[in-house]
Structure 1
Amino acid sequence: MAKVALLIGVSEYEPGLTPLPAATNDVEAMRQVLHNPEIGGFDEVKVLINPQQHEMAVAIETLFDGRQRDDLILLFFSGHGIKDENGKLYFATCNTCKTDRGVLVKATTVPANFVHEVMSNSRSKREVVILDCCFSGAFAEGLLARDDGFVDVRNQLGGEGRAVLTSSTSTQYSFEQQGADISTYTRYIVEGLKTGAADRDEDGWISVDELHEYAGKKVQEAAPAMKPEIYAIKEGYKIYLAKAPVDDPNLQYRREVEHWVKRGNGEISFIGRAALDGLQDRLQLTPEQTAAIETEVLAPIEVYKKKLHRYEQAYRNEIERNFPLSDQARADLNRLQQMSGLRDEDIALIEAPINTEQPPTSAPPPPDKNFLYYLRQYIFGVIGLVIGGTVVYFFLHRDPSPVTQPTENSCAKETYSLNDNVSLGEEILEKQDTNPDKEAGAQAFAKGDCQTAIEKFNLYRKANLTDPEALIYLNNAKARQKGDRLKIAVSVPIGTTINNAKEMLRGVAQAQDEVNNSGGINGKLLEVAIANDDNDTDEAQNIAKHFVQDRSILAVVGHNASEAAVPAAYVYKSGKLVMISPTSFDQRLSGLSNYIFRIVSTNNLVKSLSNYKINSAATSNVVICVDAESPDNKWFADEYAKAIEQTNGKINPTNCNFSDSSFDSNVILSQAIKSGANGLFLAPHISKINKALELARANQGRLPLFSSPTMYTQQTLAEGKADINGMILAAPWHPQAIPDNPFGQKAQALWGGRVNWRTATTYDGTLALIAGLKQASTREELQKVLHSSNFSVEGATGKIQFEQSGDRINNRIFLVKVQQKAGTNEYEFVLLPN
């Protein structure tokens, strides 16, 4: 087993790219810890400083070529990452340049897809990529044609047996690269390795996920707006990079300092000081040693405080010269904020008290709950605040009383700041679909100019009918302008499975649009807060906690997959907030709480599909292919197996696990056929559809295919084509399933095309809440109404009623088949007759 690293630092660039002098220092700092036999213990550490494009590409290919399965390969890059107009990522070299028109000459860069290809071709199953990329300011102002602020590292570099760590996936910030001796992110990567402090479980080894946790925490103490990310599956998280000392006095003292700093909100309390003094004596450390450790632990917090003070002085000086601020002054302050890595909430807490000191420049404005109101909301709405600490979360609470509008154009302002993952319209979360009109609409909404927001969102909708986020924001602006409104929330995985997120948001948007255009709920328009949970357990729980705290939110539609839906449901259960899950078929949601409801009956899905396999297709020896790390799909597959066995059917013994790192489609097919299999059942997680399609491709039509509703996606049709022709699946909706139901035609007119079952079930979940809110004004009343035997509403999937367990009563399930469109190379889902 070899440990090999390539460290690339690019500090010098052609005109148009900002120099990054810290990049070379980053490489040297990394070299020292990786080469040290007591820390990294790497066999080979190659350093590449300011390479030309060809030299850098060759070095990367050589790094991964000829490796063995157990080799540990590490690629570190410090320099500019550049995203083109199509969202593709490139790494800049010292000869990277642009044309006279300011367009990137891609031949002078190393594309991320090239790096991805050489990593994928390598035999090594332990690959680590660390990117300390400065995205902001990559080109001179005005030369980047389009930028949505997001870099999709996961899909461009991720893979099995691989971990990718990034300083940020945002193109918004540069974080003081210029003039720094070492970059912020690399500083704390090195610190975690060098001191051993990144060994969070204290087992003597530092794994990739531990290093990310340590460095991410420290980075956000110094620059809260900077968001380090890790992209890895289970195997990648536990790649061990370095050794850490065990029972080291300095490390023991450091960990205790970090504990008391955390407890003291960035300072060491009197109790903490007493504890540390006692520990110093017991460990026999000198005052000089302990002082050095404390200084290092407190360093990022002190950096953060200096940034706040620097911004405060700049703002105070500027406002003394000119109040209110000019547009140019505000633009300059925004740039200072971005370069300092400060968030909007940091700035609000600085500016508000200074603004109150200024004399009025004209007649006082009407009492419309303006900046002071929102400052008070910031302060009293704080859910968790550690000044200079780890992640700082703010949540703004809305006064439930009606808002009086001072003018026709204006509306009350309300802003969420939750890791930039929640928005009412002031921020674009779905960054793949946008244009200047949508951006202008969001900016106007953020400023409280609802009329402009309405106009801009309307213009954008004419150019892009398929974007549901814009329609929700349009309706939110109308509701906010009217003043008297009700609010719910929806949580979807925008950052990880964007197609699923869009499908769900279309259902919410359609229901909201219909009710608002017909006068609202008892005269009140419906407002919807959108959250992006990435189908991530921690993020979903965090979002759920804040939704529970915001008493103006009466219910939540979501979440998508079980890894988000189930953990969030426990939060809603304790917080007594209604949640309707439109897509998850995890049985753990059944009967969990009076506040948890489901639109899709999992038992009906399993029963319909298993009956068809047994009675119609005579597939009594089926291979079950499931993602063992996806609880809802695993449960679905387990229930299907029980149904088959209960009718004397047989489950083929071939092991087929989509989450297995050694998954080999050809091997699985060979084993299945040899063991007499006469069918394949596919139940992948949404992120593993590509593996299911790989298996279908290897199958070449030899065994009949069946699947869970997860495979009902456009990706399945577009990529599967002939390989999935004839596949049968169960679904809770199909456009032709209920002929007299108007939902399908309305959806096609609204979105300019057909929609998916997830749109229909999410529409129904939202429709159920709307019907419930017509009879209820509180969370407690709403859950009682939904549980009532008298409650029902006709939705896209039929009548919606709920059992006391929260499950849907008797929702119909339809069998769907993949079939080629006549005379074309395209495929579609067609409804099978009952």
Structure 2
Amino acid sequence: MSRKNETPVLVLSLLITLGLIGGVAWWFTRGLFSGQNGAQSNSSLNSQTGNGQASFTDRSSTGTRVLNPQSAAAEKLAGAQAMANRNYTQAVTDFEAALQTNRNDPEALIYLNNARIGDQKAYTIAVSVPMATSTNPALEILRGVAQAQTQMNQTGGMGGIPLKVMIVSDDNNPTVARQVADALVKETEVLGVIGHFGSEATLAAAPIYEQGKLVMVSPTSTSVQISNAGNFVFRTVPSDRFTATALSRHLLNNLGKQNAAIYYNSASDYSRSLKDEFATALTSDGGQVVAEFDLNNSGFNALDTVKQASQQGAEALVLAANTATLDAALQVIAVNRRTLPLLGGDSIYNPKTLQVGGENAVDMVVAVPWVLLSNPQSEFAQTAKTLWGGDVNWRTAMAYDATQVLATAIGASPDRTGVQQNLASPDFSLAGATGTVRFLPSGDRNQAMQLVVVKPGERSGYGYDFVPLP
């Protein structure tokens, strides 16, 4: 069979594989909650996401309900019930048992930390994540928060006062994010917010935090529009401008190519931001974007777009997909079959890329804010491995730094105005997991991105790994 005839079969196989993965995940999630009763488990959010029907009480928890639809072990549910009954001693026992069953559960660790606090005085922050709709990225963020909270409270907290964490499930939906922000502003004990996940949700919520004078620190939202979101908006992750610069210079200086085709999602602020910033950076450096393809187009055909890109003189393909269009980006990887060099933004840094992309993803270069293998012996990396039993990624590290940032500011001035003033001060500096954290007047972090490349390996368990580019 010729390569030309193999390609449609390859695309069909990829679509079937993605469908099977989604089907198994659906079955698994349904199976976890079949036959369960009680208020501790928020499986009902799965049928209410995207329309804001679930109340803030249903979406938020400091331990009295389980928000993760994929983790509702009996011990964890028992711990939530004990927390609801204010039986904190029993809750500690139950959450410890849950972590013995699954130590890689940051929600359980956060609730355990909160149970240990009980009714004593604590400083409270919230973390808003897409628990029901993008569970894996949500857990990655929560691992960073949980690790920072654990270390903070084990070392005496902030002047002897521990850190309590409220988890909120926002579906990564702008409408829900606005509702969450409004509710958090009214929760007067909340002194700062970590979130949101996607740039669309962060941009939607930002004006409400600004008006309510409640600091938000995003560990993952990279759109350049966030730079103008207000005085109470910060982020520990560098903006898309840094990603675009890193990818453009690699294309020109390392690969010796000038012409690129770019894939993006027109419905995503993050994806459009990265596309525009890359086009600007490449043009400024002497190259050009010769074609643009919308992954969100209802008639999108990966094979046709790769052919068009080649016909228009593209020497490389740039994947500026967001999480929602990762599957479409994986189709591009498959049909390209390593013919043209591949570059990707941070959303491509996903285990699914290694699992589904496989051999076709080898040598693809992806820009990320932080990579564990650049310093695997660091205190943060070693503690993370002990806590979670494996490697963590940049979302965990950035969330860890966001938690440390808020805790440091709260420790200096435990009120909302004081937190903002501390972070906005030109003297603010924190030695974080990802390097020194300082904020520009815009609330942005001034830090270069790192490049990783897909190579055969065994760390991920899929036969391929993201490793630092030599």
Q: Same fold (TM over 0.5)?
A: yes
Instruction: Name the residue aligned to 1:682.
Output: 319
Query: How far is the alpha carbon of 1:750 from its aligned partner?
Result: 0.6
CA distance in 2, matches of 1:550, 1:87: 31
The amino acid across from 1:421 in the alignment is R
| 1:458–1:593 distance in 2 versus 1, CA, 3 Å | same
Write out per-residue CA displacement over residues 506-542 of structure 1, whole angstroms, 9 at most, x where no aligned residue: 1111100000111111101100000000011111000
Report the equivalent of 1:797.
434
> Which secondary structure state, in structure 2, belongs to the residue aligned with residue 86 of structure 1?
helix
Deviation, 1:688, is 1.2
Q: Please show how residues 140-289 of structure 1 align to structure 2 within 5 Å.
A: 150=43, 169=47
Amino acid at match of 2:177: A
| 1:422 lines up with 2:315 in the alignment | no
Partner of 1:215: none
Q: Which residue of 1 aligns with 2:455?
A: 819
Structure 1 residues 714 and 84 mapped into 2: Cα distance closer, same or farther (>3 Å)? closer
Q: Where does residue 488 of structure 1 map in the other structure? A: 125
Q: Which has the higher contact order (CA 8 A, sep 6+)?
A: 2
Asked if 1:728 is matched to 2:368, the reply is no
Q: Distance in 1 between matches of 2:287 and 2:98?
A: 54
Shift of 1:136: 8.7
- For 2:53 and 2:170, the matched residues in 1 are separated by 16
Aligned pairs for 1:508-519 (under 5 A) are 508-519=145-156
Q: How many residues align?
A: 441
Would you say the 8 A contact 1:658–1:692 is kept in 2? yes
Give the aligned partner of residue 126 of structure 1. none
86, 92, 101: which is aligned to 1:454?
Answer: 92
Of 746, 757, 760, the match for 2:397: 760
Query: Given the alignment of the two structures, is residue 507 of structure 1 paired with residue 141 of structure 2, yes or no?
Result: no
Could you tell me how far 1:567 is from its partner in structure 2? 0.9
Distance 1:84 1:818 in 2: 28
Structure 1 segment 538-557 matched on structure 2, within 5 A: 538-557=175-194
| Maintained 8 Å contact 1:730/1:813 | yes
Amino acid at match of 1:585: T
Deviation per residue, 1:106-160 (Å, 9 max, x gap): xxxxxxxxxxxxxxxxxxxxxxxxxxxxx998xxxx9x9xx9663797xxxxxxx
2 CA distance for matches of 1:392 and 1:798?
Answer: 38
- Residue 423 of structure 1 deviates from its aligned partner by 0.6
Alpha-carbon distance in 2 for matches of 1:460, 1:491: 23
User: Is the CA contact 1:148–1:432 (under 8 Å) kept in the aligned structure 2?
Assistant: no
Paired residue type of 2:28: N
Residue matched to 1:188: none
1:773 matched residue in structure 2: 410
Change (3 A) 1:540 1:392: closer
Q: How has the CA–CA distance of structure 1 residues 551 and 690 changed in structure 2, closer, same or farther, with 3 Å as cutoff?
A: same
| 1:560 alignment partner, SS class | coil
Pick aligned residue for 1:475 from 80, 100, 113: 113
Write the distance in 1 (CA, Å) between the matches of 2:34 and 2:344.
Answer: 44
- Measured after TM superposition, the shift of residue 787 of structure 1 is 1.4
Gaps of 5+ in 1: 1-82, 90-134, 154-168, 170-226, 232-389, 394-417
Between the aligned partners of 2:204 and 2:152, the Cα distance in structure 1 is: 31
Q: Which residue of 2 aligns with 1:647?
A: 285
Per the alignment, do residues 464 and 537 of structure 1 end up closer, same or farther by CA in structure 2, a change over 3 Å counting?
same
- Secondary structure of the corresponding residue to residue 782 of structure 1: helix
Q: Deviations over 1:588-610 (max 9, x none)?
A: 21142221101122222221121
SS for the counterpart of 1:87 is helix
**Deviation (angstroms), 1:793:** 1.1
- Tell me the alpha carbon deviations over residues 431-471 of structure 1, each in whole angstroms, 9 at most, x when there is no partner: 20121100000000011001111111011101101111000
Distance 1:747 1:579 in 2: 24
| C-alpha separation in 2, matches of 1:622 and 1:477 | 53
Q: TM-score, normalised by structure 1?
A: 0.51
Aligned to 2:5: none
Which one has the bigger helix percentage?
2
**Secondary structure of residue in 1 paired with 2:43:** coil
Distance 1:594 1:822 in 2: 44
- 1: CA distance between counterparts of 2:406 and 2:383? 20
Partners of 2:302 and 2:133 in 1: CA distance? 25
Q: Shift in Å at residue 690 of structure 1?
A: 0.7
Return 5+ residue gaps in structure 2 as ranges.
1-24
Q: Secondary structure at the match of 1:829?
A: strand
Taking a change above 3 Å as real, the CA distance of residues 609 and 392 of structure 1, as seen in their structure-2 partners, is closer
User: 1: distance between equivalents of 2:57 and 2:402?
Assistant: 26
Does the CA-based 8 Å contact 1:556-1:579 persist in structure 2? Answer: yes
Q: Which residue in 2 is equivalent to 1:592? A: 229
In the alignment, what sits opposite 1:572? Answer: 209
**SS state at 1:544 partner:** helix
* Distance (Å, rounded) in 2 between the aligned partners of 1:742 and 1:392: 40
Partner Cα distance (2:170, 2:364) in 1? 31
Q: Is this contact kept in 2: 1:623–1:681, CA < 8 A?
A: yes
Q: Structure 1 residues 504 and 136, CA, compared in 2 at 3 Å: closer, same or farther? A: closer
Is 1:659 the counterpart of 2:291 in the alignment?
no
Aligned residue for 2:29, secondary structure, equals coil
Q: Does 1:605 align with 2:243?
A: yes
Give the SS at the match of 1:656.
strand
1:557/1:392 CA distance change after superposition, 3 Å: closer
Q: 2:70 aligns with which of 432, 442, 457?
A: 432
Match status 1:466 vs 2:71: no
The amino acid that maps onto 2:77 is E
Task: Give, in angstroms, the shift of residue 392 of structure 1.
Answer: 8.9
Inter-partner Cα distance in structure 2 for 1:611 and 1:796: 26
Question: Kindly tell me: are residues 230 and 587 of structure 1, through their superposed partners in 2, closer, same or farther at Cα, counting changes over 3 Å?
Answer: closer
How big is each residue's C-alpha offset from its partner over 1:677-697, in whole Å with a ceiling of 9 and x where there is no partner? Answer: 111100112121111001110
- Note if 1:87 corresponds to 2:29: yes
Measure, in 1, the Cα distance between the counterparts of 2:305 and 2:88. 57
- Counterpart of 1:445 (choices 76, 80, 83) is 83
Q: Is the 8 A contact 1:560 1:584 kept in 2?
A: yes
Larger radius of gyration: 1
**1:54 alignment partner in structure 2:** none
Amino acid at match of 2:180: I
Closer, same or farther: CA 148–543 of 1 in aligned 2, 3 Å: closer
Amino acid of the residue matched to residue 725 of structure 1?
Answer: V
- Paired amino acid for 2:430: V
Q: Aligned in 2, Cα 1:820/1:424: closer, same or farther, shift over 3 Å?
A: same
SS of residue in 1 equivalent to 2:58: coil
Q: Name the CA shift for 1:136/1:719 in 2 (closer, same or farther; >3 Å).
A: closer
* Cα distance between partner residues in 2 of 1:727 and 1:590: 29
Amino acid at match of 1:501: A
**Structural RMSD (CA):** 2.4
Deviations 1:756-814 (A, max 9, x none): 11000011111111111121111101111111122211111100111121111x32421
Contact 1:633–1:683 (8 Å) recurs in 2: yes
Q: Which residue of 191, 194, 200 corresponds with 1:563?
A: 200
- The letter of the residue matching 2:133 is T
CA distance in 2, matches of 1:807, 1:677: 33
* Offset at residue 825 of structure 1 (A): 6.2
Rounded to whole Å, the distance in 2 between the matches of 1:151 and 1:568 is 24
